[in-house]
Structure 1
Amino acid sequence: MRSAGLDLVKWTAMLTMVADHLRFLWPAADGLFIVGRLAFPLFCLAIAVNVAREQRIPSRYLGWMIAFAVLSEGPYRWLDADTQTFSVIPTLALGLLVAWGVQHALVWARLAGLVAMLAGALFGRHLMYGLPGVLLPAAWLMARRFGGLSWLLPCLLAVAGNLTNSWLRGHLSAPITLLTMAAALLAIPFGCLMLRIEHWRVPAVRRWGYLFYPVHLLVIKVLM
């Protein structure tokens, strides 16, 4: 069954991601970078919700992520030739495996999650949002399951993921850094509120959402 709240989370994640990438057209628009900090935690929330309600092996879900990680890398590097990381999709794919290992007690699921976590630790500097980003979907799962103080975990990881950016980490007191951390932190309660919305008519985000990522990168590059 479709969830209007989950589709709203996905739409918000995609639109804030596009807003962030529009900085390639308008480099002086620093505010778009701050808006874009909502996107990654919301994508992680979507993964957590899907993992929580899915009992089958996530082979198709993971397969789509791997396929579009490969397809997206060229457009991503064409748009940002100076990048030091892969696109965001490898981080999300590893996060899916860690979340699956947390959700299910099957030996192979726990082993896959552990391997993904180790990969995040070993290759974190090459992953967008690093190890904190890999752990964030699982943190969402745990917070939604246990509540209480466990909500501190996704909040901390959302902030820590942004601090893998060396410039932000080196300018902790700069206004843009403080606003970036605030936006990442607020993405957690904001995502929770959107999930509760079930009476709105929200267009469904289906598998075309995977294609949206590389296509929007190509469109922005062509417009530059």
Structure 2
Amino acid sequence: MAEQLGAKRDIGLDLLKWLAIISMIADHLRFIWPAEHWLFVVGRLAFPWFCLAIAANVARSVAGQAFTAANARYLQGLVIFALLSEWPYRWLNGPSPTLNIMPTLALGLLVAWGLHHRTRAAGLMALATALTAGLASDRLMYGLAGVLLPGAFVLALRYRSLAWLLPAGLAVAANMTNLWLRDHPLQAISLMALSAAWLSAPVGLALLRLQVQRQVWRVGRWGYWFYPLHLLLIKLITIIDYT
């Protein structure tokens, strides 16, 4: 989620990250207000937009140089916070059969590197990652489709035109790993949620291309800490509400 060191600041990317954070918070507020089903629809934007933010960071790096110190720090941040976030995630959402979102994003980063750098080593790493994700799909939030989504956005950023259709389709497929959506695909709330997932790709790509004139508070490495801490805060609020 954080920008790579040395990359020029992109205000459109900061805006995208803020909207992803806001939609993620909206989704998780359902633990406090479970009757507010519209929050689930808004929340379908969060994961694709985080994947697009990763893709945008990857696309701005020098092609062919996958194994750099900056990239190692980027992956290290995701892996560390995947570990740190698991307990807060499990405390808030104990029945979930999947891990928290960070492992999916970390694996997605590896696939995105392979598609951007297009070296043999990076390609083999991306292929091995995709195969691993396929085998572990049931344990990964958003499954194999979620792991492939950052890479699909890398292609959409490169080729433009109708290339957004690939990440749009994968965003829908990733959301279909949700058991409730899979069992009730034709209910109104499901159709709205899947429509939001589909629209996340073209809307997110359009946001990145906006010529934003106003200053936007930068989403830096504090964004990693925000994920587990906001899970803890929401859990504490639910405890207070029930006492």
> What CA distance in whole angstroms lies between the structure 2 residues aligned with 1:69 and 1:4?
26
1:123-154 deviation digits (Å, cap 9, x = unpaired): 11111110110000110111121223322111
Residue 106 (structure 1) shift: 2.1
Counterparts of residues 42-81 of structure 1 (less than 5 Å): 42-55=49-62, 56=65, 57=68, 58-81=71-94
Counting matched residue pairs gives 224
User: Is the contact between residue 104 and residue 142 of structure 2 (CA under 8 Å) also seen in structure 1?
Assistant: yes
> What CA distance in whole angstroms lies between the structure 1 residues aligned with 2:156 and 2:59?
12
Partner residue in 1 for 2:227: 213
Partner residue in 1 for 2:32: 25
Residue 170 (structure 1) shift: 1.4
Partner residue in 1 for 2:4: none
User: Is the contact between residue 17 and residue 50 of structure 2 (CA under 8 Å) also seen in structure 1?
Assistant: yes
User: Is the contact between residue 79 and residue 103 of structure 2 (CA under 8 Å) also seen in structure 1?
Assistant: yes
1:173-218 deviation digits (Å, cap 9, x = unpaired): 1111101110001111211221123312110000000000000000
Partner residue in 2 for 1:185: 198
> What CA distance in whole angstroms lies between the structure 2 residues aligned with 1:50 and 1:143?
13
State the TM-score, normalized to the length of structure 2. Answer: 0.90
Counterparts of residues 46-195 of structure 1 (less than 5 Å): 46-55=53-62, 56=65, 57=68, 58-195=71-208
Identity fraction in percent = 54
The alignment's C-alpha RMSD in Å is 1.0
Matched, 1:2 2:16: no
State the TM-score, normalized to the length of structure 1. Answer: 0.97
Runs of 4+ in 1 over 3 A off after TM superposition: none
SS in 2 for 1:205: coil
Matched, 1:14 2:28: no
Listed as ranges, the gaps of 5+ residues in structure 2 are: 1-7, 239-243
Partner residue in 2 for 1:196: 209
SS in 1 for 2:214: coil
SS in 2 for 1:109: helix
> What CA distance in whole angstroms lies between the structure 1 residues aligned with 2:214 and 2:126?
35
